[in-house]
Structure 1
Amino acid sequence: MNTVSRTKGDKIFDFANTAFFVIVLLATIYPLYFMLIASISHPAAVNNGEIWIWPKDITFEGYKMILEHDKLWNGYKNSIIYTVVGTAINILLTITGGYALSRKDLVGRNVFMFFITFTMFFGGGMIPSYLLVKDLGMVNTMWALVIPGAISAYNLIIVKTFFQSTIPDELLDAGIVDGCTNWRFLLSVVLPLSKAIIAVMVLFYAVGHWNTYFSALIYLRDADLYPLQLVLREVLILTQAQEVFENSGALMEGSLEMQNLSGLIKYGIVIVASLPMLILYPFVQKHFVKGVMIGSIKG
């Protein structure tokens, strides 16, 4: 068995490389971990900087209040609906649009690509966008959050590149000879070979919909339509817990106790808001790297 001797420089490089990525890993994971332990620790210990690695004086009062508050769960429900519906629309338009643009026989393909790329650098702005959404009658509706951003030019280009580099023209020619239509070829051949890029797009779009709050802040007026992130934003800017739970009847006496409860609620909501994406990622992780790498290289 042949072995390759490693020089001192190789060992130093490996050590530095490992140390660097360990630091990056800790910098990425620790904030979420801190939120978790802070959400179950006594607020006084958190405020005094006593929480670093382990929780102190564990309490689940914050999560208890969160579970009892209807407004938070309504926001949770809305975010799930917006994410599922919005992602479905995104995937439908991005996959079909990317496939069409990847076909060399598409008339005017370069013209379409020019205008699509143009939108990545120039936009109408917030006020014209709001006026357009208002004229379309979508203000204060779910569609104001999913239709204006129904397709991302960046993601469309990634999908187009993926199809060009993965689906050979000979495969389409063989399908045409066998009497396969464009739709049949897309559904029966292209999609089964594109699970990696579809998984990547689902993750990209789903995370975007789940984390969005600015569009809801602009277009939504009815509090019953607020997504979870907008509810979270409201909680984070409140100074007293009784304002958060004014309809729950769970008021605490004393401003200090209310501030402590507010701190627990803030940390707890961050954890609750992050859970769906943390649960989704392991299911698409195996396709994630492959899809991004293939989709970013033109063959």
Structure 2
Amino acid sequence: MSSTTRPVWMEKPTALGNAAKGGVLLVIVGLVVFPFLLVVSTSLASRQEITRNGGFVLWPTDPTLSAYTTVLSGGVVSRAVLVSLGVTLVGTVFSLTATVLTAYGLSRRGTWGQRPLLMVVLLTFLFTPGIIPSYLMVKQLGLLNTYASLILPTAISAFNVIIVRGFFQSIPGELIDSARIDGAGEWRILATIVLPLSKAVVAVVGLFYAVGYWNSFFTALLYLSDSDKWPLQLVLRSYVLQGAPLGGLDTGATEALPPQQAIQMAVVVLAIIPILCVYPFVQRHFTKGVLTGAVKG
């Protein structure tokens, strides 16, 4: 190869190459958008359209919000949405605070008990407690049938702690030393220097925690026996997979109710709307956080 020959990836793409890339991207977008469009369209379709199309509608000719009105008027979904929002907000704030404090302590050399605590965090990658020990621990702590059981058992993720710790360690030590010379304590250093430089990784970890709390249903299924305290995902699972009726609906007047498929899809749409609303605001931080450490200067 001549010394003046450039690598293939540095060559200007041809028109055929651009067309192939565009075609592949269109196929990927179609695979992502089609199921979502199918769910939304079915939730807006009438009984006649759903019956005529065999259960799913791609584009409703006479859209109606009767499925959403029926779901929200029953009270069960509305209460479950509030429960999920509360658990997600409180859990995310608590988990993010605990993760940042733990990671900061593990990232500073000379911290008391740093190495033993780091070993404990790393060992959780190898040894998981299992369902039965976790249930017995929650029971012994008196957390059964409480909202705390949805947060405390999964409050800190060892993976997120390691990620945030690595980011904190990449911050130049000269900044920390200069702040200490000026008389700043550890809390002030964390609040005024470390956290402002770590917005990307904090946003990414916060998004991970929020999505995890919002989508979690197994912990509620395991620890909550009172159906009035169920989060949205457990209500969604019970209704969509098991066909359990939503409380507050007059199941005897089936002709007056929207079709079951429309109600199921309406519950699915209500479950994914909050994440779709939050993600655009953290997308740029998410991209930066994911790429952090991928390129070294």
Q: TM-score, normalised by structure 2?
A: 0.88
Deviation at 1:49, TM superposition (A): 5.0
Tell me what 2:71 maps to. 66
Contact 1:162 1:298 in 2 (8 A): no
Comparing 281-290 and 22-31, the one that deviates more: 22-31
Contact 1:164 1:298 in 2 (8 A): no
Identity across the alignment (%): 38
Tell me what 1:195 maps to. 199
Encode CA deviations 1:229-268: one digit per residue, 9 max, x unaligned: 111111113447xx324x34464246xx76x621111000
**1:19 counterpart (10, 23, 29):** 23
- RMSD of aligned residue pairs (Cα, Å): 2.7
Tell me what 2:84 maps to. 79
Tell me what 2:229 maps to. 225
Tell me what 2:260 maps to. 262
Superposition pairs of residues 264-283 of structure 1, within 5 angstroms? 264-283=262-281
Contact 1:35 1:271 in 2 (8 A): yes
| Aligned counterparts of 1:185 and 1:204: Cα–Cα separation in 2 | 25
SS of equivalent residue, structure 2 residue 153: coil
| Aligned counterparts of 1:13 and 1:112: Cα–Cα separation in 2 | 52
**1:101 counterpart (80, 103, 106):** 106
Q: TM-score, normalised by structure 1?
A: 0.87
Contact 1:94 1:151 in 2 (8 A): yes
Deviation at 1:173, TM superposition (A): 0.6
Deviation at 1:217, TM superposition (A): 0.1
Superposition pairs of residues 30-179 of structure 1, within 5 angstroms? 30-46=34-50, 48=53, 53-165=58-170, 167-179=171-183
Distance 1:163 1:71, change over 3 A: same
Tell me what 2:212 maps to. 208
Distance 1:9 1:173, change over 3 A: closer
Contact 1:162 1:296 in 2 (8 A): no
Distance 1:43 1:101, change over 3 A: farther
Tell me what 1:235 maps to. 239
Contact 2:42 2:58 in 1 (8 A): no
| Aligned counterparts of 2:99 and 2:293: Cα–Cα separation in 1 | 13
The residue type paired with residue 120 of structure 2 is: F
Deviation at 1:106, TM superposition (A): 2.7
Deviation at 1:114, TM superposition (A): 2.8
Tell me what 2:246 maps to. 244
| Aligned counterparts of 1:136 and 1:297: Cα–Cα separation in 2 | 45
Deviation at 1:21, TM superposition (A): 3.0
The residue type paired with residue 121 of structure 1 is: L
Contact 1:101 1:109 in 2 (8 A): yes
The residue type paired with residue 227 of structure 2 is: A
